[in-house]
């Protein structure tokens, strides 16, 4: 069985919103973009918006689907939907959860992301500017 997961690539002023997973559970200590499992009957776009709000307290808008990836971990297969996103309000840019913070685009490559994110991170760094603000 494949689990649908939505991931929000939230761009703001040359930075991306990034969090760090806790030390317990799958992928402990890895960095991640906001996101999570889709609820039954929930679209990946709606899931990205919901998960970002739940995890960071920030409201976002989906700009476009950047890519989707099937990846199999030892515990199961996930269908990852990566969405370029922007803040719904320019006046709100400080995450309410301390586990999430803004990272300059060029610094993303220095962080340890899960394997299915690696090519995406290289792409974001190569672009040099968040496409969600263009």
Distance CA 121, CA 119 (A): 6
Whole-prediction pTM: 0.90
Asked whether residue 130 carries a pLDDT value surpassing 80, the answer given is no
β pairing state of 76-87 and 2-12: parallel
Instruction: Tell me what the mean pLDDT of segment 89-99 comes to.
Output: 83
Identify the pLDDT of residue 22: 81
Token pair 């973009």 is found at 33
**4 vs 107: CA distance, rounded Å:** 28
What is the pLDDT confidence band of residue 49, given thresholds at 50, 70 and 90? very high
């Amino acid at each position: 069985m494949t689990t649908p997961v939505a991931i929000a690539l939230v761009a703001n002023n040359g930075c991306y919103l990034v969090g760090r997973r806790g030390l317990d559970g799958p992928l402990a200590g890895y960095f991640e973009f906001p996101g999570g499992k889709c609820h039954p009957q929930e679209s990946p776009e709606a899931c990205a918006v919901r998960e970002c709000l739940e995890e960071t307290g920030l409201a976002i808008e989906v700009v476009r689907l950047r890519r989707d990836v099937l990846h199999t971990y030892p515990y199961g297969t996930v269908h990852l939907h990566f969405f370029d996103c922007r803040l719904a309000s320019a006046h709100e840019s400080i995450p309410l959860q301390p586990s999430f913070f803004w990272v300059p685009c060029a610094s993303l490559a220095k962080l340890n992301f899960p394997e299915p994110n690696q090519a995406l991170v290289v792409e974001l760094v190569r672009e040099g500017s968040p496409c969600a603000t263009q």
